[in-house]
Each structure stands twice: as structure tokens, then as C-alpha cells.
A and B are shown apart, each in its own frame.
Chain A
Amino acid sequence: MITALGPVAADLGANRVIRGVKIPHPCGDPTLEPAGDHALRIGLVRAALGALGEKIDKATLFRGAS
């Protein structure tokens, strides 16, 4: 799961959580230049894919792109 409310999601039962950017735009940042925003989004999705391959035994907050 990618969400700006990472700790809340992990507390409420989501197990693999990636900290997103902001509530209205979890997967990007409109204040960044297009290139930086794009790299940020790639990083978040890459982190999510990485989390899917990671063995965990409890709800875990993974680092996002930055």
C-alpha cells in the first residue's frame, strides 16, 4: 500500500506500507519539476514492488522514494 498516512495504515492492519507524499497526491509531488516528480513516482512504485518481495512478520513501514 502506498499512502501518505503510513503509520496509520500500519496500525490499522495494512502490512506492507510505503510512505507516500501527501494525502491528495500520494504518488507524486506537483511542486516538483516534471523530471523530479517522475523520479519520485518511479521510486515509490519500485519501493512497493520491493516490499512485495520482502519477508515480514508484522506490519512494516517501508521507506518510500526519498
Chain B
Amino acid sequence: MASLRVVHYVNQFFGRIGAEEAGDHPFTVRGGPIGPGIGLQKELGDAGQVVATFICGDNRAATDLEAFGAAVTAALREQRADVLVAGPAFNAGRYGLACGEACARAAALGIPAVTAMNAENPGVDLYRAKTYVLPTTPTALGMNETLGRLARFAIRLGRHEVIGAAAVEGYYGKGVHRTAILDRPAAERALDMLVARMAGQKFATELTLPAVEHVAPAAPLADVASARIALITTGGIVPKGNPDGLKQSNSTEWRAYPIAGLEQLEPGKYESIHSGYDASAANSNPNYVMPLDAVRELQHAHAFGDLDERYIVTTGVGTAVVEARRMGREIAAQLKERGVNGVILTAT
């Protein structure tokens, strides 16, 4: 089998350019392995040849990832790389970002790539969906062992071997589940897991659930009767005709629509565009999802102070958690600016 053309990315420190004072060192291509690349070459053996080392100062790379990425793309093309190895970056944040970006650029060119960093490195969460990231110790103490894992992984990637599930192969999950035919049916595998669990033994799930983020409850409103309240719904209630083209699912956006002077959401003037539930009830009476009629009645009865003049809407169906978190931050910032004290959010 022909030896793979391996390209290695390192920062200015591991590239033997200098320490922090060389943090702005521009993107440079050197022939052959340098620094940890020498250990990487040993681990690759005859299977791969480190044909070039890319070096860039951490500050230079991390402050302009776009320009850095463009330089990586051009250099990868020039080197006719079969596979890119970046780092390991351990717990160095700027280095981790550069390694992740370099790998993401390689992947975009169809060149398989792998990097390694510690779980605490921000590069893990930013790039794990775009590239393979292997775990490491926090510091370079784990260098030799990590280079061995990187080399073995790179050889498999370069040979286009099938890479299995994250839990089995030992990389940070990319959040992707691939369909595969396994020897044993799901029922047997599930029973094995159950037995292992009951016996207190280790087992690896085939479906890792995202960690749920819990938020400390907000302090109660001191005086609801004088509070300014806003209404939000994830039920996709928009003015008839969906004037802003709000997405029906996998939402990445939210809108605010005026309700000043409205006593209810009049049927026929508002509709549900949410693709995840039967909208017939909501269309016959949008207040079933966005209860403006009841809210107004309670406002007139002084059950609370006043109502924000706009309601906020998105469609909560198939929405990625990362998008929901961003939208939540944006909405909360706006509501705060508008002096809102409390929110009633209705969800379908």
C-alpha cells in the first residue's frame, strides 16, 4: 500500500519558532516533520509520510480564523495531502481553535482530518461536529501516547476505512448517528447493556443524549400586580400569510409582532405555520396557543401591570439546542431592554 501523504499542523511553540512573543508568526509551510511531528512520523512508520508541517502563531490564527483557514486550504491543495493531523492542542484554547479550523477546512476539501485536545478546550465543542477530535490529557505530558492514537487514526482515515461510533473509537462524538448493519439485533444489544448495568459493569450506549442544561430558577416577581408581562410562543402563531417567511421547522429565527390595542388574536388574521402539530384548532382560534384574549381580560382586572406591546414567536420543532440557546439569549436581551419583568411562554 502506498505511503500516505500526511500534513501536520502545529503552533509557533511546537513548530520551534518561539513562545508567546512569536504569537503573531504568519502561516508558514515547512517540508517534513518538526517538533511533535517527529514523534508522529515514528508512529506512522511506513504507512504515512509527514510531507509538510504547517505552522502559525496562535494569536495570528485565533484572531482571524477566516484568513488562517483560507491559508490552510491553499496549502493543503498544494501539498496534495491525503490526511491532515493537527496538534495535539491539549488545553491550549487558541491552539485548539486553530487545530479545529484547520481540520474543518481539510474536511471541506474532502481531505480527512483528525486533531486531539483536552475536553476543557473550547475547540472541542466548536469543532467536534466538523472533524474528529481525540481526547487528551490537559497538558503535553500525554504527548507520546496521544501521537500514537493520532497516527493510528490518521492512517485509517487516509485509507478511507470505516470509522465506528464515538464511544467505541474513542473520539468526541460528532453528534452524528450513522446507519450501519450490525451482527446482532438491537434487542440483544439492549439486553446486554441492561445486564451490564444491573451488574454494575461498564457499557457503551449507542445513543448519547445531549446533556441537559439546568438553569437556577429566577427570583419570583415581588409584585405581579404591577409587573410588565410579555408573551412568547414556540407554537408558530404568525399573522395570516406568514409575512416574514418564518420557518415551519428547524427554526433559526424568531419574530415580534404588535399586539397593542388587540383584545385577542382574531381567527383568520393569525395562523399557525408550525409543522409539528395539527394546526386546525390553532387556526380556528389562535388564542388556544397564544392566549391573548384571557391575558387582556386579566390585565383589565388588574391581575398584572401591563403587557408588552409585541408578542414573540418561533417554531419549536426540530430546533437545534444551540439555536434555541442563541434565540433565547437574543429574546431575553430585548425583553430586558423593553423593561419586561415576567414572561408567559406557551409551547405546543
A residues whose Cβ falls under 8 Å from a Cβ of B:
1-5, 9, 11-13, 15-16, 20, 23-28, 30, 38, 41-42, 44-46, 48-50, 52-60
Which residues of chain B come closer than 8 Å to A53, judged between CB atoms?
Answer: 220-221, 223-224
Q: Give 14 CB contacts A-B under 8 Å.
A: A3-B348, A9-B347, A12-B212, A15-B215, A23-B348, A25-B282, A26-B289, A26-B347, A28-B287, A28-B288, A42-B294, A44-B294, A49-B342, A52-B224
Contact of B219 with A by CB under 8 A: yes
CA–CA, A58 to B304, complex, Å?
24
A15→B220 contact, CB < 8 A: no
Q: Which residue of B lies closest to A22 (CB)?
A: B281
Q: How many A-B residue pairs have CB under 8 A?
A: 112
CA–CA, A53 to B278, complex, Å?
33
B residues whose Cβ falls under 8 Å from a Cβ of A:
212-215, 217-221, 223-224, 227, 229, 235, 277-282, 284-285, 287-291, 293-295, 297-298, 303-304, 342, 344-348
B298→A45 contact, CB < 8 A: yes
Which of A11, A20, A55 has a CB less than 8 Å from the CB of B219?
Answer: A55
A24→B291 contact, CB < 8 A: no
Which residues of chain B come closer than 8 Å to A30, judged between CB atoms?
Answer: 281, 284-285, 288
CA–CA, A8 to B281, complex, Å?
23
Which of A25, A27, A41, A57 has a CB less than 8 Å from the CB of B217?
Answer: A57
Which residues of chain B come closer than 8 Å to A56, judged between CB atoms?
Answer: 217, 220
B279→A20 contact, CB < 8 A: no
Closest Cβ of chain A to B70, distance in Å, is 39
CA–CA, A60 to B221, complex, Å?
16
Q: Which residue of A lies closest to B272 (CB)?
A: A24
Q: A27-B288, A41-B294, A49-B298 are in contact. Are A2 and B221 (CB under 8 A)?
A: no
CA–CA, A30 to B298, complex, Å?
21
B344→A48 contact, CB < 8 A: yes
A16→B217 contact, CB < 8 A: yes
Q: A2-B346, A5-B347, A27-B287 are in contact. Are A46 and B224 (CB under 8 A)?
A: no
Which residues of chain A come closer than 8 Å to B287, judged between CB atoms?
Answer: 27-28, 41
